[in-house]
């Protein structure tokens, strides 16, 4: 199973490359085996084109390396914070994809302007608060995760499986690493389309709740009708 | 003839991929055999790169599957509403292409700013009204079609073979599936150029009617002079 | 020599494709043999990927077809008007390239915001006046050329080898078809960069004349120092 | 060593092509052997696709050609001014890349809006003052370098290894030609994202200093933790 997860996490990382979400070694995807408490994550600063399943790093939920000779992504503690707080998350992805990062830098929630958005996210994609100076100075990456977790207090993270970290960029998640990467690709497209909608009309309005939920639940939950059975 | 239409509809779907109008399984194209009352449409949620003519679904005008083992696109009822109301439509295409969707989300008609637009559409590309809550809650996709049909009351749908569904995205049509896909590609380019024109000058003005009609009728109708005989 | 010009004009047309300036059959490039009074131009509505040198159409300066079985581009009379008025023009190109067309539709001159612009155009790229209704209704394409010629009264067309036709799109020219196509590619890049400059600062200012001329004459005229020899 | 530098400088030039930073023959990269006082630079106006290591030009720090039969890039004197003033610079790159040029043309510093920026540049990317008319009229390229050097008085050029020359475009540098090209690619992405951030929110705010420095020093200096070992 760990081998299968290594392969899936590698493919999730490469999916970010295929869709133009990463430049050089930016970005990272991980996946988790819940029963074993093992996380598989991209190594730090290794070029995507040379990456093999063996280069991926396996850690426990405290971040101790269990397998692999490379150092894990420096964002590992943020991934771990999300796995600990969101028990339904099977995969986490972080990118600096252009449009989502632009919204994160502007500290503005991406409104749910249309049905494409509502097919994947049941509402706007929120922005975290800024970290306090002391949260930046020590345990920065872990504290980044805590800022995300605080922002999702009382929300189902699978209904809005994405966040914008203020002044930084997006994190997405999903039931698997594959789904987390898929959500990162979709988020980038939504961030782009939402910016253009604002340019077409600066007072563009979000979709009505009933319309949003119609689309979200066409694709998610027990009454989903999209796709092949 | 049904085999030929399957192949044409497959190619119309792939034309959307070739021009970057669709992400993952977004979008769908269909075509109709008027005499037989048969519609060929993309299956729901099947990756484009694996799609074969046999995967396409054949239905009647009530949406009953006549041939094919897969489920048709969830947007089938919208296509059927258009085929019923627009007797000259031989093909229908729906996408969430980025720029046209941005205008649809902003609920703003795409003005006919120039001759490129006028070569294909004899005026602005209109936006539907929002659906009422009860139109969303039941028969949503059929009601989406009805909103389009209402918007075109008194218009020749072949003079403006495209619409923006409010908060959703574009539908296009044409005398064939090929032409509907072609119009979807053109619409996306027009939506993009029109946005940039607004950014260059926020009070950009539409083309004069005489200029618009000169271009439209250079390419359409009995006096067309464009192309090879 | 006519064979060489056919090949050059074909390559000039394909250069537009290689740089993403044309969609489907949009756009056209031509070249002229001044001594013979013969113009070679793209045929109307023929896909670029199938075009051969033999498909190009040879006409005289009155637009009479001298060689070739296809119809010439419908924009031929505009090309002819430019060849007649600009004796130094050896090639003409017309496109609906996205950014230049956006400026043409907004009827706004592209300011000379920087040295990239000044390397190719000694000042802003001007916009024509709108055509009168009667100029549109008869001899439209010829009158389009006349509107360009009027706009360049008193200017050296090789110092600013490009124009935006109001509500339509750009024409470029040069000492050869190759140079005209090159200028079309550069113009599109300048139109894009100038739009972004306006978005960065809506009151962006043109380059000082001395700076503009320094760059223009580094690459043009007897004191040019750019390139090899 | 000169052969190795030729190959590195060629690859640095090609890196600009691979990332879409240059059109035609725009742009140039160089590298220096400090001990020998030799600079290797791209020749002027030679197409990238035909360039070989032998085409590169070797000069001394006064710009005298030591090896090579082609003329060096016309921007050579700017490179030399930077090598003379910035002793830690091992490579210099100049491009007219679209987004960075747009900011240079607008004469607006690129603010440090986020952590992607702070990973590479410890603060905003500054703009030079305009050159005086006499600085343009003689020794223009050398004076361009002096304007950059004046702008960096009192700054560590490796903490902000990039500048926008007003009305012109970006120069970047680094400890090697490879690093200078890498910084040019990153700068273009930052310029693009920063523009979008402004479009999302016109009063977007720079990252707090403590946050900026956390990221910069994660990747630079003795306490860097990014990457492998």
Sheet of D28-33, strand order: D65-67, D57-60, D38-41, D28-33, D91-94, D169-174, D162-165
Note the pLDDT of residue C229. 64
Distance between CA A78 and CA A141 in Å, rounded? 5
Note the pLDDT of residue C226. 78
HSE-up of residue C200 (Cα within 13 Å, Cβ side): 28
Give the residues of chain B that fall short of pLDDT 70: 229
Choice among D55, D119, D139, D213 that is catalytic: D119
Could you tell me which residues of chain A have a Cβ less than 8 Å from any Cβ in chain B?
113-116, 182, 185-186, 189, 192-194, 196-201, 204-205, 207-208, 210-211, 214, 218, 225-229
Residue A229 has pLDDT above 80, yes or no: no
Could you read off the pLDDT tens digit of each residue along chain C, which spans 229 residues?
A: 999 999 999 999 999 999 999 999 999 999 999 999 999 999 999 999 999 999 999 999 999 999 999 999 999 999 999 999 999 999 999 999 999 999 999 999 999 999 999 999 999 999 999 999 999 999 999 999 999 999 999 999 999 999 999 999 999 999 999 999 999 999 999 999 999 999 999 999 999 999 999 999 999 988 888 788 6
Count other C-beta atoms under 10 Å from residue B52's C-beta.
10
Instruction: Name which of B116, B124, B113, B127 is nearest B189 in CA terms.
Output: B116
Contact call for B196 and C137, based on CB within 8 A: no
Contacts of A210 in chain B (CB under 8 A): 133, 136-137
Least CB-CB distance to A167: which of D114, D218, D225? D114
- φ and ψ at B182, to 5 degrees? -55, -45
Percent of chain A with pLDDT over 90: 96
Model-wide pTM > 0.80: yes
Q: Which residues contact B89 (CB under 8 A, 6 or more apart)?
A: B32, B82, B83, B157, B158, B161, B173, B174, B175, B180
Alpha carbon of B217: minimum distance to chain C alpha carbons (Å): 11
Note the pLDDT of residue B229. 64
A touches which chains (3+ CB pairs under 8 A)?
B, D
Two tokens at A88?
């339904």
Average pLDDT over residues A66-81: 97
pLDDT digits (tens, 9 = 90+) for D149-183: 999 999 999 999 999 999 999 999 999 999 999 99
Note the pLDDT of residue A223. 85
Eight-state DSSP code of residue D221: S
Sheet of C38-41, strand order: C65-67, C57-60, C38-41, C28-33, C91-94, C169-174, C162-165
Of the residues D44, D57, D97, D102, the best mutation for testing chain C's interface (the one with the most C CB atoms within 10 Å of its CB) is D102
Percent of chain D with pLDDT over 70: 100
Least CB-CB distance to B116: which of C74, C108, C169? C169
Note the pLDDT of residue C170. 98
Note the pLDDT of residue D56. 98
Confidence of residue A61 (pLDDT cuts 50, 70, 90): very high
The ipTM is 0.97
Two tokens at A40?
């598989």
- φ and ψ at C74, to 5 degrees? -65, -15
Active site residue B119: yes
Could you tell me if C188 and C19 are in contact, meaning their C-beta atoms sit under 8 angstroms apart?
A: yes
Name the residues of C annotated as catalytic: 119, 226
Note the pLDDT of residue C140. 98
Q: Which residues contact C42 (CB under 8 A, 6 or more apart)?
A: C9, C13, C27, C28, C29, C30, C51, C56, C57, C72, C73
Q: Which residues contact A14 (CB under 8 A, 6 or more apart)?
A: A48, A51
Could you tell me if C71 and B228 are in contact, meaning their C-beta atoms sit under 8 angstroms apart?
A: yes
Least CB-CB distance to A168: which of D114, D197, D229? D114
Average pLDDT over residues A9-26: 97
Note the pLDDT of residue B224. 87
Note the pLDDT of residue A224. 87
Rg from Cα positions in chain D: 17
Q: Mean pLDDT across chain D, nearest whole number?
A: 97
Alpha carbon of C134: minimum distance to chain D alpha carbons (Å): 40
pLDDT digits (tens, 9 = 90+) for C92-104: 999 999 999 999 9
Eight-state DSSP code of residue A125: B
Two tokens at D156?
């560590």
Instruction: Name which of A61, A56, A11 is nearest A32 in CA terms.
Output: A61
pLDDT digits (tens, 9 = 90+) for A47-56: 999 999 999 9
Q: Please report, for residues A191, C7, C216, the alpha-carbon distance to residue C177 in angstroms, rounded to integers and kept in the order given.
A: 41, 10, 21
Residue D98 has pLDDT above 90, yes or no: yes
Eight-state DSSP code of residue C79: H
Contact call for C198 and B197, based on CB within 8 A: no
Active site residue B196: no
Distance between CA C153 and CA B123 in Å, rounded? 34
| Coil, strand or helix at A10 | helix
pLDDT digits (tens, 9 = 90+) for D26-80: 999 999 999 999 999 999 999 999 999 999 999 999 999 999 999 999 999 999 9
Distance between CA A66 and CA A63 in Å, rounded? 9
Instruction: Name which of C114, C12, B98, A121 is nearest D130 in CA terms.
Output: C114
Residue D81 has pLDDT above 70, yes or no: yes
Residue D229 has pLDDT above 80, yes or no: no
> Helix D177-200 vs helix A98-106: angle between axes, to the nearest 10 degrees?
60
Two tokens at B12?
């119309």
Alpha carbon of B175: minimum distance to chain A alpha carbons (Å): 28
Number of residues in chain C: 229
Distance between CA C85 and CA C81 in Å, rounded? 6
Could you tell me if A160 and A123 are in contact, meaning their C-beta atoms sit under 8 angstroms apart?
A: yes
Calculate the CA A17 to chain-centre distance. 15
Could you tell me if C173 and C180 are in contact, meaning their C-beta atoms sit under 8 angstroms apart?
A: yes
Contact call for C136 and B186, based on CB within 8 A: no
């Amino acid at each position: 199973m760990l081998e299968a997860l290594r392969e899936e996490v590698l493919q999730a990382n490469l999916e970010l490359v295929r869709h133009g979400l990463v430049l050089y070694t930016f970005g990272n995807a991980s996946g988790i085996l819940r029963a074993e408490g093992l996380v598989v994550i991209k190594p730090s600063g290794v070029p995507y084109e040379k990456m093999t399943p063996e280069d991926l790093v396996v850690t426990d939920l405290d971040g101790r390396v269990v397998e692999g000779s490379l150092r894990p992504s420096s964002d590992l503690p943020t991934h771990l914070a999300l796995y600990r707080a969101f028990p339904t998350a099977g995969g986490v992805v972080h990118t600096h994809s252009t449009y989502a990062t632009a919204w994160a830098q502007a500290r503005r929630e991406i409104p749910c302007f249309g049905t494409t958005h509502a097919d994947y996210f049941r509402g706007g994609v929120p922005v975290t608060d800024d970290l306090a100076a002391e949260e930046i100075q020590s345990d920065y990456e872990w504290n980044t995760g805590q800022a995300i977790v605080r922002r999702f207090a009382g929300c189902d993270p699978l209904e809005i499986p994405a966040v914008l970290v203020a002044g930084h960029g997006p994190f997405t998640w999903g039931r698997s690493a594959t789904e987390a990467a898929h959500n990162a690709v979709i988020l980038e497209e939504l961030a782009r389309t939402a910016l253009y909608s604002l340019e077409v009309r600066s007072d563009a309005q979000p979709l009505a709740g009933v319309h949003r939920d119609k689309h979200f639940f066409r694709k998610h939950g027990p009454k989903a009708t999209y796709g092949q059975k």
